[in-house]
Structure 1
Amino acid sequence: MAAKPVKAAIGEMWINCQVCGSERFRERDVKLNSFGMEFMKLAWADETATGLICWRCGYVHLFVNREIKLYRADT
């Protein structure tokens, strides 16, 4: 099943792609693995970021800000 496009905002500010200016993204969680945690076999405990993949050009934006809100985008 294909991912549905979303729009994203932090507070009152809408997020646009830094490359092409699009406002539609695919969302996924991204693990921020560190060497130390990988070495100790604790990578599962590393921090997770919200990845927004631009629907138009594919550029990946990463956010660790937990205030980010996702909204369904019209297709």
Structure 2
Amino acid sequence: MAAKPVRAAIGEMRITCQVCGSDVFRERDVLLNSVGLEFMKMAWADETATGLICWRCGFVHLFVNRDLKLYRADK
């Protein structure tokens, strides 16, 4: 299944790419591994982040802010 384009915001602040300024992304969950939990074979307990991958240039932005809202983008 192909990723669908999204736009994102935290409150009233719209998210744009830090590199190219685009406001269209694809979303992906990212596991934030820690050495300690990896060592104890408990990586499944690590925190996750929302990864927003810029649709235009591919730069990856990571967010752990649970107030991040995603909106469908009609490219």
TM-score range, shorter chain: over 0.9
Paired with 2:35 and 2:63, the residues of 1 have a C-alpha distance of 20
Residue aligned with 2:38, SS:
helix
Deviation of the 1:2 alpha carbon: 1.1
Unaligned runs of 5+ in 2: none
Q: Does 1:68 align with 2:68?
A: yes
Q: Does 1:42 align with 2:47?
A: no
Aligned to 1:31: 31
Identity of aligned residues (%): 83
Unaligned runs of 5+ in 1: none
The count of residues paired between Structure 1 and Structure 2 equals: 75
TM-score, normalised via structure 2 length: 0.98
Paired with 1:3 and 1:61, the residues of 2 have a C-alpha distance of 16
TM-score, normalised via structure 1 length: 0.98
Paired with 1:43 and 1:13, the residues of 2 have a C-alpha distance of 32
Displaced runs of 4+ in structure 1, greater than 2 A? none
Residue aligned with 2:21, SS:
coil
